[in-house]
Amino acid sequence: MRTPPLVYVDIPALRPGTVGAYAFAFACTAVATALRVAIDPYVEGVQWVTFFPAVMIATLVSGFGAGLFCILLSTGAGVFFILPPRFSFHFESLSELLVTLLFVLITFALVVVIAGMRFAVERHQGVERELEQHRAALRDREDRLTTVVAELQHRTRNLLSVVSTIAHNTMRKSDTFADFSASFRDRLQALGRVQSLLVRQQRGELVNFDEIIEAELVAQAANGGDGGRVTLDGPTGVRLRPGTVQTLAMALHELTTNAVKYGALKQPNGHLTIRWRQESSEETGEPWLHIDWKESGVEMPTSVGGTGQGRELIEQALPFQFGARTTFALEADGVHCTISLPVGSTS
């Protein structure tokens, strides 16, 4: 903010409209009267000489109201103490009355000019403060925008890396372009569902495990109401840590897709049981989520497809990234998978 002009004076106790402002005007008048009385034997013909500075100073320091008050007090003091006959409000001649009126007019004009200047300076300072506030708000918005853009770039790079990995692994496991197209589309849709959950996390909401598994089953048209072929057994509201949502959701997608294409949700006698529980770790006391994925009634073929990327996520990505403990087995009657990983508290 720019420094105010040197002629501008701002004393909080003497600001316009305060008791201090009018007390200051009274003091200026008293000092001017005392000085005029003191120099009276040496100065003749300039009865109001000390009252002009008093009015100007009172207006400059305390504003328009104090200036008018000082004019009133100065006129009364000059007439009573200075003009003959002293100690009386009587005028000896018309010229004395005209000089007094001229003093009132000149000082009133001075008060208007000085008060206008003071108002202009104060208005200028107010505009400067508003501009500074706007500049500070603009800088804050720019900083937030820079942070958002950097976070968006970081997330975009990560997302592109994930999509690239999905495309590479899908291509590696696909025999034909049609197989690649179908599998890649399904995985991108699953990734999209995960991103909608991550948006919730940005708003401060934690994602629950039961929401992920139910959303995946609904997306695959394999919910628990489908002939009772799916059993879900576990508490609601088990909150996942933010970093684990994407990888765990993609692993569950691979398991569900495998069950729909080849396993318990494909074959007529198949059944899928998903159980989970939350327990505190004996070593650290932190809450852990234990997931048990069990398919039964499945006639296992000699070669089971569709498990490659899912197995990599379960047996490599989850343990490496989050310290999870996992198992994956192709048993005689279907896939059996367990996942244990640290989570947040239950909501």
Helix (H) or strand (E) holding 327: strand 325-331
Instruction: Give the pLDDT confidence score for residue 306 in this predicted structure.
Output: 45
Here the tokens at position 76 are 């009364």
Judged against a pLDDT cut of 60, whether residue 49 lies above it is answered with yes
CA distance 120 to 133: 20
Choose the weakest-confidence range: 43-57, 126-140, 164-178, 327-341: 164-178
pLDDT band at 225 (very low <50, low <70, confident <90, very high): very low
Judged against a pLDDT cut of 50, whether residue 118 lies above it is answered with yes
How confident is the model over 119-137, as a mean pLDDT?
89
User: What phi, psi does 47 have (nearest 5°)?
Assistant: -65, -30
Choose the weakest-confidence range: 84-98, 138-152, 182-196, 308-322: 182-196
Here the tokens at position 340 are 């244990």
Q: Calculate the alpha carbon distances from 208 to 217, 343, 344 in Å.
A: 15, 10, 9
CA distance 48 to 24: 19
247: left (phi over 0), alpha (psi -120 to 50) or beta: alpha
Select the more confidently predicted residue: 347 or 278: 278
Please provide the average confidence, as pLDDT, over all residues in the chain. Answer: 85
Render 165-217 in DSSP notation, one character per residue.
Answer: HHHHHHHHH-SSHHHHHHHHHHHHHHHHHHHHHHHHHHTTPPPBHHHHHHHHH
Long-range interactions of 319-324: CB distance < 8 A, separation 24+? 321/243, 321/244, 321/247, 322/241, 322/243, 322/244, 322/247
Q: What percent of the chain has pLDDT over 90?
A: 34
Judged against a pLDDT cut of 90, whether residue 254 lies above it is answered with no
Domains and CATH numbers, the chain: 12-138 (no CATH), 207-342 (3.30.565.10)
pLDDT band at 183 (very low <50, low <70, confident <90, very high): confident
| pLDDT tens column, 56-114 | 999 999 999 999 999 999 999 999 998 888 888 888 888 889 999 999 999 999 999 99
Q: Which residues pair with 233 in a beta bridge?
A: 275
Residue 33's Cβ-side half-sphere holds a number of Cα atoms within 13 Å equal to: 22
Render 95-146 in DSSP notation, one character per residue.
Answer: HHHHHHHHHHHHHHHHHHHHHHHHHHHHHHHHHHHHHHHHHHHHHHHHHHHH
How far is it between the farthest Cα atoms of the chain?
132
How confident is the model over 51-59, as a mean pLDDT?
94
Coil, strand or helix: which one is 283?
coil
Judged against a pLDDT cut of 90, whether residue 31 lies above it is answered with yes
CA distance 150 to 141: 14
How confident is the model over 248-254, as a mean pLDDT?
88
> Which amino acid is it at 336?
H
Select the more confidently predicted residue: 222 or 131: 131
Q: Minimal CA–CA distance to 212: which of 339, 40, 325?
A: 339
